[in-house]
Chains A and B, each alone.
Chain A
Amino acid sequence: MSQLDIKIRSKPHSEQFREVIMTLSGSLDATTIPKFEREIATVVSTKPHRILLETADVSHIHGQAFEILNNAHMEQRRHDGDFLIANKHEVVETIRLEAGEHDGVQIVKLSGRLDIRGVASVESRFLEFFETANPQVLVDFSTADSLSSLGIRMLLQGIKNAAARGGRTLILNPTPPISAALETAGMGHFIARGTEAEIAAGFPINKK
């Protein structure tokens, strides 16, 4: 069970300047984000001159949290307040990998950002799906929102591994920017459009 602890301290530097320090520890994920959103909204509503968010002990940040941070940032700006994030070098922005199976096809869903941090956190687990005998893998990209060259290389490695074992790979429903990146990398023919069930049922015939 994921947990997030939020400690809030108010530092009245002077009557003219009030700072609120929010210290987070744990995981900022789908389970804990509602709590974080409530707490930060409460802090923002008091219109402090500065909000300092300390995130050194946060192990995981889901993409949705960035939207909340953006909103808090903008809300602060509306009354000329500051919004700072401390220790952000330590923040690990991860990607979620969920696995399933349909008609003998492995479905690997990647949500979030497949960038330098995302690749580091899922690569070994991701590549395992392509190392079985005759691997049939459908990589669901419908909720992935960023893909860098490192992520493309990871995908290509999986596709090569599957091909070497007589298997096949398709990439399901990538967003337009990610499709464009895959096309540029010469991997457009691995893209499939449809529902997981439809594509898995026709696998690997029902490709683009």
Chain B
Amino acid sequence: MKNEISIRIGNSIPEVSSALNESMIWLGQFEVSAKAQYFVRLAIEELATNWIKYGCQETREHLMTFDLRHTPDRLILKVKDNGAPFNPLNAPISSTDLPLEERDLGGLGILLLRKMADQMSYEHRDGMNILTLEKVSQ
């Protein structure tokens, strides 16, 4: 079994779908909980769409890489991109306590990841955003 996989995408939505499919096929070989599977899908989609929307404003080529690793008890996802510096750990999140009509759910994807990840760390190095997320696999 291959315990690691690296998936690279450019800044286009079809490539996000492709990365989701590829990650699920890889993940299918392990016994991981529905929560852990859901987390991986969520992380790829939220981080990639956020990056395409906000991180790719310049004309140069943009790439995002998802390095997924399965250990006996964890799934580790390292996400690297060369977009605008963005630290999801301190990004502003709109309140989820507002009355229904005032809610816009800005930053919801990042909030979901912060709540669901068992560990999350960020660094900006050599012009790259590097985000590491960990989720207990059972």
**Is A146 within 8 A of B112, CB to CB?**
no
Task: Name the CB-closest residue of A to B103.
Answer: A156
Interface assignment of B74: CB less than 8 Å from any CB of chain A: no
**Is B28 within 8 A of A176, CB to CB?**
no
**Is A69 within 8 A of B25, CB to CB?**
yes
**Chain A residues near B (Cβ < 8 Å):** 66-67, 69-70, 73-74, 77, 85, 88-93, 113, 115-117, 145-146, 148-150, 152-153, 156, 159-160, 163-164, 175-178, 180-181, 184-187
Q: How many residue-residue contacts, CB under 8 A, span A and B?
A: 105
**Is B96 within 8 A of A186, CB to CB?**
yes
Taking CB atoms, residues of chain B closer than 8 Å to A175 are 34
**Is A148 within 8 A of B109, CB to CB?**
yes
A116 to B19, CA, bound (A): 12
Task: Name the CB-closest residue of B to A184.
Answer: B115
**Is B29 within 8 A of A88, CB to CB?**
no
Distance (whole angstroms) from the CB of B62 to the closest CB of chain A: 17
- Among B1, B25, B41, point to the contact of A70 (Cβ < 8 A): B25
- Among B28, B96, B109, point to the contact of A73 (Cβ < 8 A): B28
Distance (whole angstroms) from the CB of A204 to the closest CB of chain B: 14
Taking CB atoms, residues of chain A closer than 8 Å to B46 are 148-149
A187 to B24, CA, bound (A): 27
**Chain B residues near A (Cβ < 8 Å):** 1, 13-18, 20-22, 24-25, 28-29, 34-35, 38-39, 41-42, 45-46, 49, 95-97, 100-101, 103, 105, 108-109, 111-112, 115-116
**Is A89 within 8 A of B14, CB to CB?**
yes
Distance (whole angstroms) from the CB of A10 to the closest CB of chain B: 23
A74 and B29 contact, Cβ closer than 8 Å, known pairs A91-B17, A159-B100: yes
Taking CB atoms, residues of chain B closer than 8 Å to A66 are 21, 24-25, 28
Q: Which 7 A-B pairs have the closest CB atoms?
A: A186-B96, A70-B28, A149-B109, A177-B38, A149-B108, A89-B14, A177-B35
**Is A176 within 8 A of B24, CB to CB?**
no
Taking CB atoms, residues of chain B closer than 8 Å to A88 are 18, 21-22
Distance (whole angstroms) from the CB of A97 to the closest CB of chain B: 19
A176 and B29 contact, Cβ closer than 8 Å, known pairs A89-B14, A184-B112: no
Tell me the dominant secondary structure on chain A's binding face: helix
Distance (whole angstroms) from the CB of A177 to the closest CB of chain B: 4
A156 to B100, CA, bound (A): 8
Task: Name the CB-closest residue of A to B36.
Answer: A177
**Is A185 within 8 A of B101, CB to CB?**
no
A143 to B13, CA, bound (A): 25
**Is A184 within 8 A of B96, CB to CB?**
yes
Task: Name the CB-closest residue of A to B116.
Answer: A180
Task: Name the CB-closest residue of A to B108.
Answer: A149
**Is B28 within 8 A of A74, CB to CB?**
yes
**Is B103 within 8 A of A73, CB to CB?**
no
